[in-house]
Every structure is written in C-alpha cells, then in structure tokens.
Amino acid sequence: MSTSTATLMDGTALARRTVEETAARAAELTRRTGVTPCLATVLVGEDPASVTYVKMKQNRCAKAGIRSRHVELPAATTTEELVATIGALSADPEVHGILLQHPVGPHIDERAAFEAIAPEKDVDGVTMASFAAMGFGLPGFVSCTPGGIMRLLDAYEVGLTGKRAVVVGRSAILGKPAGLLLLGRDATVTYCHSRTTDLSSIVREADILVAAVGKPRFIKGEDIKPGAVVIDAGYNPGNVGDVDFAPAAERASLITPVPGGVGPMTIAVLLAQTVEAAERHVV
Amino acid sequence: MSTSTATLMDGTALARRTVEETAARAAELTRRTGVTPCLATVLVGEDPASVTYVKMKQNRCAKAGIRSRHVELPAATTTEELVATIGALSADPEVHGILLQHPVGPHIDERAAFEAIAPEKDVDGVTMASFAAMGFGLPGFVSCTPGGIMRLLDAYEVGLTGKRAVVVGRSAILGKPAGLLLLGRDATVTYCHSRTTDLSSIVREADILVAAVGKPRFIKGEDIKPGAVVIDAGYNPGNVGDVDFAPAAERASLITPVPGGVGPMTIAVLLAQTVEAAERHVV
C-alpha cells in the first residue's frame, strides 16, 4: 500500500481560528456599541437535513457571540409569503445578516426569495448583487463555500497568479463564484461540468483543482497532476467527497479532507460575514 | 503563399439581417401602440472616438426606427452629476434604453454611473444585475459584444455543448460575460488573461476561441487548433484584430474578419435590445 504524500489542509483548525477572531470582533463591537450581531435564519418546511444545518449554524453563532433569530415557515409557504418574510428581515434594523436555508421546495421561486435579501445583509453571498460583486472584484459578501476555499488557499500560502485552476461544477453559489474569485486572483480558470467531454485530460492540467459536483469519488486519483492542490467541496453520504481521496493524496501536494476541509470553513465565513455586516451597519 | 481555408463569419451581413428584423419589430410596435422605441445616449466629454461611436449608434437607431435622445455632458462632470442624469433617464417613461458611452474619464466612478441605469433599460448590458443574469441564465439584457458573438455562433450553427471554449481577456463587459454565456450553453470554458502562463498551449486546445484583449495580432496563427472557430473581438488601430488573421484563417474552420465580424453585431444587439425594452415597457 502506498503512502499519502500530500499535506492535509486542515479546515477544522482554520475554521476554529477564524471563528475565534470573529468572536473577538463580535465581543469588541458589543462592548463598544452595545450592539450584538444578529443572523436571521429562515427555514421553510421540516427537511431533517435542513433542520440539522440550521441548528448547527445557530449553535455556532451562539459560540461566536452572534444572536440568531430563527424564522420557521410551513412547507406550504408561497413565494409571495417567503419574499414578504425576507423583505421584513431586510428592513429590520436589528437583523444584520439573513440566511435562507436551501432548498426551499420546488413550488417556491428560490431566486425571487434570495433576491429579497438586502445586499448589505447577504452574508451567505447568494444574491445576484453578491455574484456580480465577486465577478467584478467589488466590495460585497462572497458565497460562503467559495469564500472558505479562498481562505484555505491563502492560509496554506498557495500562489494563484498564473496557475491553472480547474473548477468542476458550475452551480450559482459554489462552482461559478469559486471560478470568479480564482479569476480575480489571476488564476487561469477552466469551468468543467456535466457536459464536459474528456474531463480527465482537463483535470490533469490543474495546478489547483476545485471539485464541486456532488458525486462521490467522481475525480479519480490518477487524474491529479503531481503536486497539485486539491480542494474537495463535495460532501456525499458516508462522509465521502467528490475526489477519490486516497489515490489523490498520493499525487497532490495539498488536499482537503472530507469531512474537516471545506465544510467547516463554510460556516466560519458565514459567521465572519455576519459580524462584518453588523460592523458596517453600526458605523 | 498558402490559401485561407476558413469560412468567413460575415458580421456585416448578419447585422444587416438583425437590424432589418429589429426595424420591423420597431415599426410594428409603433403601428400597434403609437410608441417609438427610444435610446438615450450619454456622452461625457469630447473624446473624438467616443463622439464618433455615439454618432454612429444614433444613425443606426434612426435607420431602425428607434428615436435617440442625446445627452452631452462636459468632461468636468462629477460622478454625482452623472449619476443624477442617468437616474433621471432611468425614471423617464419615454426612454426605453440607456447607453453610457465608455470611457467617462478617470475622475468619475464609472461603476456608480453604470449602476444608475435601471436594469430594465440596460440595453447595453453593463450593470451588475445584467452580469448576474448572464451568469445565472436568467432573463435580462446581455452585454452587446458577447451577445453579438453568441448570435454569430448560432447563425453559423456552431455546436457549443461540450466544446472547449477559450476566452482570452476578462473585462467586465466582454471577456467575463462572453465566458458566462458560453458556459450557459454548455461549453467547457477557460478564461485566459495577462497573467496566464503558457497561453499558446491553452489556445491550442480551443475548439472555439474568443480573442478579447485589445492587442494587435496577439493570437498567433500557429496556435489555432485545426478546424477551430475563431472569434476576434479585438479592434486595434489600422483595422487589425487580436488574432493574426491570415495564418489563423489557414487553420480555422470559421473565422470573423476585422472589421466586419464582431463589430457590426455589437450595435445590432444594442438596437435589438432597445426595441425589446420598449416592447416590454409597453406590454
């Protein structure tokens, strides 16, 4: 059996440091102004996974000195009702950040619901305004998972300028913004997806690979370029990522584990951006 | 001397057909409702090239049955004044489309000025809302040059699904949106730019190449993959594109000339989107 040569990118440890910094900022803001940052979480229906995610986010908020206000809506909620609820949170001066837990059910126009989030409260980075800001390199909140990926790359001092970055997946809140953020940092970015032909040969060119497809072990270890940095943003049943970890780790220089890589950073960015929103609101 | 084997993508002819269709739609709208589509053009300062461009756009409008309202502002106009002017046009029910001629001078916050254009009047496709709509595949106006490129590709029945598309250049209104539109049509898209290392080897992989860098003959003919479709969105002094045309045409299957390729399509899309904005406004 061969041995892993890659260094693990420890998202759990980096997330812990990030949350500690965030908690210190939240405490300082509260001490200085009396304002406690507040994240509103909106949950539609009772999908068990969504319930768990929201509860986890609320627990993390509490530990970081962030209040959370939870809004639960029945599964039968209409688009209009959801938009009105989120609009009210957007207008509420006591709420600094808004998270709409995805998915919201097929009868709801999710885009309309996302767009009801005021850009200055879009700490989850899901609105069109946030997407465009990422694309143009303008101030704004980033999508949390891509933002977590960039923090991981920076923490491990991965040079991006001129590097070949391959993003596998093109979702609106993961693949697409991840590519735009990497492009904004001067990487040469290729987007691959379900219609890509000859994926292997493209993955083999990647100095930096971001896997974001949601298919277990979809990326084969033999396709990893020796020395590549492998970011696995997939999280499939059984704690399995989108990359076939063991053989990939034999070739990569740096690789994120699943779990304990990208996942913890996603929530860390959510918390950090909530405190940032509160700071901007108070100033 | 070797012979060109590529078929020319005749942007002049396609633009003519597009403008004829647009003029018919404008006439029909006016006949049916009494409303004549109106494009407001905003020019800051007296840069000769900009003056010429705006005049050309106005002439094309007139031929297509589109009124144009021209606003000329002195070079010393402030960001606040420009934003106010554009805001008034955004609020004016008689104006259906707004074009701010680029560039506006270094003392002006061009992004703020663009963002004063109401999304439903952004017929030039320069706002963040339009960018995000292109990224998400949602209804909205596209940036005119990328939109023209897509129309050329469609007119010549270029299959995009699964094809390797390489976009050289990453500007906010050309390279970036062109890549997003190609990605939305299921191409595998690579963005190259000034920091890309080994550009040649990436260009050599392109089934579809979009050159949008503004450097004369920057793309070498020897780097064109045999049979590739070459879209030259560059326009440099002396009617020279970003692609070294003659040797590229020996290898490409389809290629846009400069001039007479992408350029005419840019204005055709502007006119088409202005009439579309008027149609939506009237409905």
Report pLDDT for A5. 86
Residues B131, A132: C-beta atoms closer than 8 Å? yes
Counting one residue from A and one from B, how many pairs have CB atoms under 8 Å apart?
82
Which of the four pLDDT bands, split at 50, 70 and 90, describes residue B1? very low
Q: Which CATH homologous superfamily contains domain B143-263?
A: NAD(P)-binding Rossmann-like Domain (3.40.50.720)
pLDDT at residue B104, as a whole number? 94
Which of A131, A161, A195 faces B135 most closely, judged by CB atoms?
A: A131
**Confidence at A35, pLDDT banded by 50, 70, 90:** very high
Q: Which of B58, B121, B122, B124 is catalytic?
A: B124
What tens digit of pLDDT does each residue of A230-240 get? 999 999 999 99
Segment B126-143 mean pLDDT? 97
Amino acid at B57: K
The answer to whether residue A163 scores a pLDDT higher than 60 is yes
- Quick check: A132 and B136 CB within 8 A? no
ipTM of the complex: 0.96
Radius of gyration of chain A (CA): 19
Residue A26 has pLDDT above 80, yes or no: yes
On the question of pLDDT at B4 being above 90, the answer is: no
Candidates A136, A127, A77; CA nearest to A97 is A127
How far is residue A70's CA from residue A72's CA, in Å, rounded to a whole number?
6
Mean pLDDT of chain A: 96
Task: Give me the residue from A111, A191, A195 closest to B138, CB to CB.
Answer: A111
Summarised one tens digit per residue, pLDDT across range A245-271 is 999 999 999 999 999 999 999 999 999
Question: Can you say whether residue B246 is alpha, beta or left, with left for phi > 0 and alpha for psi between -120 and 50 degrees?
Answer: alpha
Arithmetic mean of pLDDT, A196-212: 97
Q: What are the catalytic residues of A?
A: 57, 101, 124
pLDDT at A192: 98
Residue located via tokens 């590519």: A179
B2, pLDDT greater than 60: no
In whole angstroms, what is the distance from residue B142 CA to residue A81 CA?
A: 31
Domain boundaries, given as residue ranges, for chain A: 34-123, 144-262
Cis peptide before A93 (omega within 30 of 0): no
**A34-123 matches A144-262 in fold:** yes
Helix/strand number for chain A, H first, E second = 10, 9
**Lowest-confidence segment of A2-6, A193-197, B100-104, B166-170 by average pLDDT:** A2-6
CA B132, chain centre distance (Å): 16
Token reading at A16? 């812990």
Share of chain A above pLDDT 90, in %: 97
Crossing angle of the two packed helices B262-282 and B144-155, in degrees rounded to 10 = 110
pLDDT given for residue B90 in this prediction: 98
Mean pLDDT of B49-77: 96
Closest CA to B213 of B261, B166, B158: B166
| CA-derived radius of gyration, chain B | 19
How near does any CA of chain A get to the CA of B208, in Å?
Answer: 14
The topology under which CATH files domain A34-123 is Rossmann fold (3.40.50)
Whether residue B168 lies within 8 A of chain A, CB to CB, comes out as no
* Nearest Cβ partner for A172 among B131, B136, B189: B136
Q: What are phi and psi of A66, to 5 degrees?
A: -110, 130
Kindly state the helix (H) or strand (E) to which residue A200 belongs, with its residue range: helix A199-203
pLDDT of A1 over the 60 cut: no
**What pLDDT is stored for residue A2 in this prediction?**
53
Which top CATH class is B33-120? alpha beta
- For residue A70, the 8-state DSSP code is E
Using an 8 Å CB-CB cutoff, list chain A residues near B188.
190-193, 195-197, 202
Q: Assign A262 to helix, strand or coil.
A: helix
**Is residue A114 less than 8 Å (CB to CB) from chain B?**
no
B81-109 confidence digits (pLDDT tens)? 999 999 999 999 999 999 999 999 999 99
Mean pLDDT of chain B: 96
A189 touches chain B (CB under 8 A): yes
B131, exposed or middle or buried, with CB in 10 Å at 0-12, 13-18, 19+? buried
Cis geometry, peptide bond prior to residue A259 (ω within 30 degrees of 0): yes
Whole-number percent of chain A with pLDDT over 70: 99
- The CATH architecture of the domain made up of A144-262 is 3-Layer(aba) Sandwich (3.40)
Q: In whole angstroms, what is the distance from residue A246 CA to residue A168 CA?
A: 19
Give me the mean pLDDT over the B219-230 stretch. Answer: 98
A165: its two tokens: 């970055």
**Shortest CA distance to B242 belongs to which of B254, B253, B225, B230?**
B230
Structure letter (DSSP) for residue B121? G
CB-based contact A191 B183, cutoff 8 Å? yes
**Interface with B, mutate which of A136, A141, A163, A190 (most B CBs under 10 A):** A190
Which residues, in sequence order, are CB contacts of A141 under 8 Å at separation 6+? A119, A122, A123, A124, A125, A130, A133, A273, A276, A277
